Structure 1
Amino acid sequence: MTGALIIIASFATAFLSGVFGMAGGLLLMGVLAFLLPISAAFVTHGILQLVANGWRAVLHRRYIVWPVMRTYALGVFAAAALVAAVGFAPSRPLLFLLLGLVPLTVWLPRRWISFDAAKPPHAFLAGFTVSGLNLSAGVAGPMMDIFFVRTGLGRHQIVATKATGQVFSHLGKIIVFGAPLIGAGESAMPPLWVFAIAIPLSMAGTVLGGRLLDRISDGNFKRYTAWIVTGIGGLYLVKAGLEWS
């Protein structure tokens, strides 16, 4: 049953991310945290999202802004090295609290935000902060949006460039949390057959989501994204409260 739920969630959330670029990963992390131990949930989420984001980046590859991504990747690996050195791993209540707080970043007034991912220092900071949050909360899509507000990119460029950035972030998450699991001989990960089914379904969900993306306007894209991730975040805050009560 756990494997079936992971497979269904992988397809549904990949479709959602194919449309909005980040809401699916936020939802999938919560589902996995319900079903698996925290470290195993992080690694499983990293693998599935690496494929989903990687495939989305391939589908929209002509829109990727590569100068941004090269600098962004340096920030990702700096954050991964720091978290690995500290050995941080969130508890279950803290994880759900962070998952609930992450979406609030989409409501920051745009006039407060002066970041521009097209500038190399900002691209490095984006990689470092987004990956750091990814390694503590499991997801960081809304945080990444802060660095794209003033870039003037269209919806396809936003989705493609963010997907590429998330590939680097999820790769760091797999390495940081997967290495200790392998070293300890843990068997909490889902069996290989779950990944064998979930990965192609994630790719299919991404394709279908991309088709819907073509049909919505830039304005609706940004508006719907904000409300969807906020609703998901609200559910996580409730869950965090229940975990601590």
Structure 2
Amino acid sequence: MFDWSMIVAIAVAALGTSFLSGVFGMIGGLVLMGVLLLFLPVPAAMTLHAITQMTANGWRAVVWHRHIMWRILPGYLLGSAIVFGLLAWAQFTPPKAWVYICLGIMPFAARMLPREHAPDIRRKGASVMVGASVMGLHVLAGVSGAVLDMFFLARDLDRRLVVATKAMSQSIGHAIKFAYFTFVAVAPLKVEPATISRALDVPLWVYGMAAGLAICGTTLAKPVLHRFSNEAFQLWSRRLVLGIGGVYLVQGGVALTQ
């Protein structure tokens, strides 16, 4: 199934999108999900995306560990566990057209909420909402960065705290997503654990390649983030995520008509 052109495209996407996420704390996952869906069925795209983004976000969390807001972790895990349990019970796998449409809608939905009314990650109960939202969107769309970003819009939040805390939460979220699409989503197919990688059409070495390139892209992004001001960081994040969202809405509309 994997030819060299596909391997090169995935490698370039893994490196480039981890660099984007390393600079902006998001966006890279949106782009990578779209690229993988061009070549792979939804469960396979989700698992490869999960490994790549889990590695990129995990390494970014290590790089910026001094800026992580650790107090949100218990609530985040609680919200994730609740939604994971509900989705595992339903054994839901979204159609590819739905994934594209969710990818496209999320950035616009996140930006429609006025900044002064946006939820704040520091408020009581916000971390539980974040965990539940991230887990649900990871299954429906593969990514959740645009909605997660709503909780980090307060102007007094430092860009390094934003990138570090989102990296920590996203690395956990993608690990849970990998478990869901590896063990839960394939359950209706009655696939034995030993043959799961074959059922998902992703050779194990491709996971390793994507993870290694994700670390490289994240490392290259650190000096670039240092050069950004907080204002420029917010401006370019908004422009890029809305542009990418528009592309995915078009792709989702096309997929529905086919």
Instruction: Quickly name the TM-score band, shorter chain normalised.
Output: over 0.9
Q: Which amino acid aligns with 2:132?
A: F
SS in 2 for 1:146: helix
Residue among 5, 12, 15 paired with 1:11: 15
**1:200 maps onto 2:212 in alignment:** yes
1:240 aligns with 2:245: no
User: Aligned letter for 2:79?
Assistant: G
1:65–1:157 Cα contact (<8 Å) kept: yes
Q: Structure 1 segments of 4 or more deviating over 6 A?
A: none
Q: What is the correspondence of 1:63-78 to structure 2 with a 5 Å cutoff?
A: 63-78=67-82
Distance 1:106 1:166 in 2: 20
SS at match of 2:227: coil
Task: Tell me which amino acid in the other structure corresponds to 1:218.
Answer: N
Counterpart for residue 109 of structure 1: 114
Contact map agreement 1:68 1:120 (CA 8 A) in 2: no
1:134-149 equivalences under 5 Å are 134-149=138-153
Q: Secondary structure at the match of 1:153?
A: coil
Contact kept, 8 Å, 2:13 with 2:32, in 1: the verdict is yes
Alpha-carbon RMSD: 1.5
Amino acid at match of 1:234: G
Deviation at 1:151, TM superposition (A): 7.6
Paired residue secondary structure (1:22): coil
* TM-score, normalising length: structure 2: 0.90
| TM-score in terms of structure 1 length | 0.94
Give 2:60's aligned amino acid. Answer: R
Offset at residue 162 of structure 1 (A): 0.3
> Which of residues 154, 165, 170 in structure 1 aligns to 2:174?
170
Q: Give the Å deviation of 1:199.
A: 1.5
Alignment of 1:31-110 (within 5 A): 31-104=35-108, 105-110=110-115
> Does structure 2 conserve the Cα–Cα contact (< 8 Å) formed by 1:71 and 1:120?
no
What residue is the counterpart of 1:216 in the other structure? 228
d(CA) in 2 for partners of 1:148 and 1:78?
23
Equivalent residue for 1:129?
A: 133
CA contact (8 A) 1:69 1:123 kept: yes
Which residue of structure 1 lines up, in the alignment, with residue 26 of structure 2? 22
Task: State how far apart, in whole Å, the 1-side matches of 2:66 and 2:178 are.
Answer: 27
Distance 1:195 1:176 in 2: 17
Q: Does the aligned pair in 1 maintain the 2:51–2:210 contact within 8 Å?
A: no
SS at match of 1:202: helix
Distance between the aligned counterparts of 1:130 and 1:151, measured in 2?
22
What is the CA-CA distance between 1:28 and the residue it aligns to? 0.4
Across the two proteins, how many residue pairs are aligned to each other? 244
Offset, 1:189: 3.2
